[in-house]
Amino acid sequence: MRNRIVIALLLSVLGLSGCRGFLGRGKIVPGKVTFQEAASALQTQADEFEPTQINGTCKLSYRDRDEEGKWRRLPSFTMKFWLEPPYNLCWVGNAAPGPEGKIFLGANQEAFWLSIKPEINTYWFGRWDDATDVTKLELNPRVVLESLGMIQFAPHESWQLESKKRVDVLTCRETDSARLIKRLYVTTKTYRLAKIEYYDELGEIAVVVEMERYKVLDGKNAVPTGIRVSRHAGGELEGRVTFTLRQGVLRQFTEKTRARMFQPITPMGYDRIIPITGSD
């Protein structure tokens, strides 16, 4: 039963991915003057990010609606991910018992996929050009990628910059409908991402990702060693996943390892195979 709860939480909270005190202290550093300058600074960081493998742990907490909304906290489990910027991601979590009890999450430039065995024995998959809204996906690798600085500035999006004390706020909307998509909060002192807010179709916050304690774990890349992903519904906090990144090592991926790690797995032996599209 506990394992099913773990998996359900990963699907709900990540599905849509340290900000506490992220404004910082000390000297106030001015932010960027234009959105173009802000985007360029973030893009430079992403371009300089080298392929890496990072290990860590994951903790889950959620509001149990069957128990009058009481908060439940579950034991942590180990995880690791491999990242080859800007698109390739392979994330593995040991959230179920036994050698086969794993959650696999992957992405490349064209597609994304999720595999959970053996607890619910299900495989999800989709293409980015058909499912771009992260709040519509059950488990979205883009949330993980963007929390590590791999921000995508798409042509169909309109961006605005607002400079506040110690933080720049970058707001993203759909160009045609002006629908609010997300907001990035960037500390002006280091110009690192501190928080990302994702909004649903009603303009309400659906997912909040907070990043804190940036460190160099692999000798090159500065990453947030604390990442907290919170799921909201109807204005209330429903669940939270906290990642703690502990160890890292730079990696170089060959074509063979790319084909093994960053390509959709063959969906054989699953009880359910579920495509994710923009209409879901």
13 exposed, middle or buried (CB, 10 Å; 0-12, 13-18, 19+)?
buried
Distance CA 40, CA 35 (A): 8
Residue with tokens 């128990």: 67
Q: What would the pLDDT profile of 90-145 be if each residue is shown by its tens digit? A: 999 887 655 566 888 999 999 999 888 877 788 988 888 876 666 655 567 889 99
3 state SS of 4: helix
Residue 50 has pLDDT above 70, yes or no: yes
Residue 21 has pLDDT above 50, yes or no: no
Residue 20 has pLDDT above 50, yes or no: no
Average pLDDT of the chain, as a whole number: 85
Kindly indicate the confidence band of residue 79, based on its pLDDT and cuts at 50, 70 and 90.
very high
Work out the average pLDDT over 21-34. 78
More confident residue, 278 or 202: 202
Q: Hey, CA dihedral for 6, 185, 233, 146, is it positive or negative?
A: negative
Report the 10 Å Cβ neighbour count for 249: 11
Tell me what percent of the residues of the chain surpass a pLDDT of 90.
56
Work out the average pLDDT over 27-32. 91
Per-residue model confidence (pLDDT) at position 237: 84
Per-residue model confidence (pLDDT) at position 41: 97
Q: What would the pLDDT profile of 142-173 be if each residue is shown by its tens digit? A: 899 999 999 989 888 999 999 998 999 999 99
Kindly indicate the confidence band of residue 62, based on its pLDDT and cuts at 50, 70 and 90.
confident
Of 93, 85, 130, 135, whose CA–CA distance to 112 is shortest? 130
Residue range 2-276, CATH number: 2.50.20.10
DSSP 160: E
Work out the average pLDDT over 46-66. 89
